[in-house]
Chain A
Amino acid sequence: MGLLSFLVFSPLIGFIVFCFIPKKEQTFIRNSAVVLHALPLLASGLVLFQFLDHASLAEKINWITFEIGEKVLGLHFELDVDGFSLVLILLTTLIGFLAVITSTWHINKDNRLFYQLMFLLQMGILGVFAADNLFLFFIFFEITLVPMFFLISKWGGTDREEAAFRYVIYNGLGSMILLIGIAAIFVLAGSTNYAEVQHYFAENGNPTLQLGLAFAFLLAFGIKLPIFPFHSWMVKVHVHAPPAVVMIHAGVLLKIGAYGLIKFGVGFFPDAFDSLAILIAVLGLFNLLYGAYLAFVQEDLRSVFAYSSISHMGIVLLGVSALNTAGIQGAIFQSVSHGLIAAMLFFLVGSLLARTNTTLLKKLSGLARLTPLLAGFFLAAALANLGLPGMSGFVSEFTVFLGIFKEMPILAAIGTLGIIMTVVYMLRAILNMTYGTYKSTYGEVQDLKASEVVPAVVLLICIIGIGVYPNAIGHMLQLTIETILGIGG
């Protein structure tokens, strides 16, 4: 078994171990959950070292073959990473680990089942990024569906069951469109291996068919991202799922949409995406402005962040539509950066919720005096989110606009409005909460404990790190982007 399979299946170890721990041992369950979740984190660190060493990580085990006449079609268990997927894998293990730490403070019901589902979810996401063919990608993609359904519907807030069903229906719709697309590609190319599929479509395939497939991918991943008319499920999940789960959801799961769009959409069907570019750019712009506008009028802090996510995913779409190095790089940066920022925001929401029991903006004020640390971190995360220079948000948005201005200057100019709107809605929400008179409705409130500061600091360091030295990631991505855009590859 190779290192990558170990990485992907390491959460399964935790899952199995947890089957044998008695339900009653609460503290033991919590501690071992944290310890066992460190396993994928360590494994991903090892993968990183191997990758930087230029060692080959690819694995392949034969799985299913179809013999149809003379054609032999194969579906295999193939894993591999490139710069893009590795960055997302690191993001997954880091945020997953922090989310589990967060849950140890906030989750008090059926702990054992909760962590088991977290393990499964983690395995699914890692598999999605480590897979080297579409079939395997799809399998892991679907595996995330079931644990997320339970995590939302069992531990969520007031409207949790509806949120969970919306999650399943929308994502089911997306994955079924994806499945038809994958089956079609499989039949055409005789394989679902990324490299082979890319090669196949570079050589043959008629334009109409490519356009159809590209559109199917856009739709499937657009639901996941989400793109405008399909966003309602994601807002529900943001608001009603437990914050620790939203950390993973907003931080990593939504990024599968960006990953799929860039790696499969742009990677396999560059010509078709070229003709769809205007559509994607307009959708992106709409996401950006519509999300920002709605974020401005929300009453609930969590809805503000949800619409802010929609708005930021618009920037990813803009980057994709540019179809040049800067645009794609910006889109990837934005995915990573938003992942970190959203995770941090929802980590803080979790801490806030534990103290005040509400995230309604009109009930929150004067936190700066009451809980200066919490308010301070909120402000830092908000600044990162609105793209303050020196933080990761700035780098990614700047790169995206660099790319898009080259291709579609008018749309880009309109898009910059979105950045201003981001400042307005983020500061409205945060300042409203931080300053003002202290209301005693939620009684005595403690500031962040020392242990609670750690996850926030870790995330903040990453955010600032990328902001100050973006090349740390940019370096790893260079080759991937060239492959995707077919430059020199």
Chain B
Amino acid sequence: MDLDTLLSFNWGIMAPEFTILIVGVLLTVIDLFGPTSVKKNIPKLGLVGVILAFILLVPQYGHDQVSILHDTYLFTPFAYYFKFILLIGAMLIFLMILSNESNKEITDRSEYIYLLLSALLGAMMMASSGDLITLFVGLELLSLSSYIMVGLRKKSLRANEGAMKYVINGSIATAFTLFGMSYIYGVSGSTNLVDISREMSASLGTAEPVATIGFIMMFIGLSFKISTVPFHMWTPDVYEGASTPVTAFLSVISKTAGFVIIMNIFFTIFTGNGEANTSLYDSMLLFIAVLAILSMLVGNLIALRQRNMKRMLAYSSIGHAGYMLIPLTSISQLSVENVWFYLFAYSFMTIGAFMVIYLLEQQKKSEDISIFTGLYQTSPVLAVCMTIFLISLAGIPGTAGFIGKFNIFVGAILAEPSLYILAAVMALGTIISYLYYFNILVQMFIRPPQLEGKVSVRVAESIPLIACVAGTIILGIFPFLALNFFQ
């Protein structure tokens, strides 16, 4: 390939990725050689980088499909919509980090900032790549960065435990993914998703079982990122061990990226060539449905017994991932839309909830559920914010969570009447989740305060809170804003 072909690509479309990359590298250099006065501003510079990337992304709305270097980078509407969520999520997490600069644990360690950026870059690559190799590189970039972020608090026992579990589980999951990919490569002779799709739509004959095993293995490996059964075990320990902004990152951006790569691979392969190869996907349906049911039940039931708030939200996030698996049991535009909307809503309410926990854990030095006792008396505003996030997580109307759930319900019933079972289990999971979400409400509004320490909300802390509350409510009352945007 000569220079002319290289320059002929529309590199401008990669501007958001380049921005993140350049800012990330720049911050690494500053951290190594820069003067202390500049070093202090690394988190702010990180935020600026993400905002810049977002500004560059927005005008790409409605842009034609662009392929760079034989589909290793693909700009599609799909990629656009999900990068939108990833960048908004990243902005909120940066705001969360910036909200409390007295927390030496995070602001003194610039590693957090550029690891976050590199992880974000990995996630964005997963959204816009049409080749298994680049997808895998993106996945590993995200994974490795997250492993380090979890383990950065090296004097904390829990952080070490969490990081260790994360690395080991993650490696096993990666092995599964690669194993599956190797089968697919063996059957189709290509790593390009569109090529694979073409090969798969022809009759596979005796190779079909091999392909099925390949896809299932890949799905199992990738389920690690979205923390669904069977690779969910790491979630509570890692969530508990990591510092709260990192936990929020894992539960929002890492999870979004996981769904993105799953949908990217499977939806491209099975619908890529115009004609869907449904027989192969149908053989996976039952499998995905069982995983969804297990995740919804395991997540919500175990959450009932948790007292540590981060563990509780970890299990609840397993349940939510189970809900989002339901649309994956049918391949259609509507499924993508439903997952997208749910992830969008989920970002706001989850980051919001983690923000409240972050704030309280700093001031009360605990992560136990008792940090919420009497919150309505000590800080009514914070209590009301948390209430909004919780009822949204529980899926009460008026909030984004409800619209997300309703979409999934409608989508499930539209696609396949037999998905009633999934809808019913989702309903059951929702009711179980009422118990632990409402329990927090009881702690906040009814119990007297149990722990010492005043609760105050500073301006910097209120910014991410306001953003999350606004997102949760606006998406709940005017969902068409987001849904129309998607179309």
Contact = CB atoms under 8 A, between A and B. Distances in A.
Interface of A: 63-68, 73, 113, 135, 138-140, 142-143, 145-146, 149-150, 153-154, 161, 164-165, 168-169, 172-173, 176-177, 179-180, 183-184, 186-187
A176 B427 contact: yes
A64 B435 contact: no
B410 A146 contact: no
B58 interface: no
Contacts of B376: 113
Interface string B462-487: 00000000000000000110010001
A138 B438 contact: no
Contact of A139 (B398, B424, B487): B398
Nearest to B487: A67
A161 B442 contact: yes
A172 B406 contact: no
19 contacts: A73-B410, A139-B402, A140-B397, A143-B396, A145-B396, A149-B438, A150-B441, A153-B446, A161-B446, A164-B438, A164-B442, A168-B434, A168-B438, A169-B435, A172-B431, A177-B427, A179-B427, A187-B410, A187-B413
Decide if the interface of chain B is mainly helix, strand, loop or mixed: helix
Contact of A165 (B406, B424, B438): B438
A346 B480 CA distance: 43
B423 A180 contact: yes
Given A63-B480, A180-B423, A149 B441 contact: yes
Given A64-B479, A142-B396, A168-B438, A154 B445 contact: yes
A153 B413 CA distance: 36
A143 B397 contact: yes
B11 interface: no
A263 to B, nearest CB: 20
Contacts of A183: 406, 409-410, 413, 423
Q: Which of A63, A150, A168, A183 has the most CB of B within 10 A?
A: A183
B409 A179 contact: yes
A184 B398 CA distance: 21
Given A68-B334, A161-B442, A187 B430 contact: no
B420 interface: yes
B413 A184 contact: yes
Interface string B420-433: 10011001101100
A72 B84 CA distance: 26
A404 B160 CA distance: 72
Contacts of A139: 397-398, 402
Contacts of B413: 180, 183-184, 187
Contacts of A64: 403, 479-480, 483
Contacts of A184: 413, 420
A154 B397 CA distance: 22
A173 B403 CA distance: 18
Nearest to A150: B445
What does DSSP make chain A's interface, helix, strand, loop or mixed? Answer: helix
Interface in B234-270: none
A176 B428 contact: yes
Nearest to B428: A176
B391 interface: yes
A165 B438 CA distance: 8
A146 B398 CA distance: 11
B414 interface: yes
A172 B413 CA distance: 20
Q: Which 8 pairs of residues, A with B, have the shortest CB-CB distance?
A: A176-B427, A139-B397, A183-B409, A172-B431, A142-B397, A187-B413, A183-B410, A172-B434
A418 to B, nearest CB: 33
A124 B393 CA distance: 20
Given A177-B427, A183-B409, A142 B402 contact: yes
A173 B414 contact: no
Given A142-B402, A179-B409, A183-B413, 15 more contacts: A65-B480, A138-B397, A139-B397, A139-B398, A140-B397, A143-B398, A153-B446, A168-B438, A169-B431, A169-B434, A172-B430, A176-B430, A183-B409, A183-B423, A184-B413
B435 A165 contact: yes
B404 to A, nearest CB: 12
A150 B431 CA distance: 17
Given A68-B414, A180-B424, A183-B413, A146 B396 contact: yes
Nearest to B397: A139
Contacts of A146: 391, 396
Contacts of A150: 441, 445
Contacts of B334: 66, 68
A176 B432 CA distance: 11
Interface string B189-202: 00000000000000
Contacts of A180: 409, 413, 420, 423-424, 427
Given A64-B479, A142-B396, A149-B438, A154 B446 contact: yes
A179 B406 contact: yes
A168 B391 CA distance: 12
Interface string B203-223: 000000000000000000000
B391 to A, nearest CB: 6
A349 B391 CA distance: 33
B447 to A, nearest CB: 10
A156 to B, nearest CB: 10
Nearest to B438: A168
B427 to A, nearest CB: 4
Contacts of A176: 427-428, 430-431
Contacts of B406: 135, 179, 183
A184 to B, nearest CB: 5
A29 B286 CA distance: 58
A172 B395 CA distance: 11
A140 to B, nearest CB: 8
A176 B396 CA distance: 11
Nearest to A139: B397
A145 B398 CA distance: 12
A141 to B, nearest CB: 8
A102 B191 CA distance: 73
A67 B391 CA distance: 28
B293 to A, nearest CB: 15
A119 to B, nearest CB: 14
A483 to B, nearest CB: 27
A184 B406 CA distance: 11
A428 B427 CA distance: 44
A173 B431 CA distance: 6
Contacts of A67: 487
Contacts of B427: 176-177, 179-180
B410 A186 contact: yes
A138 B396 CA distance: 10
B61 to A, nearest CB: 18
A139 B477 CA distance: 11
A332 to B, nearest CB: 27
B484 to A, nearest CB: 9
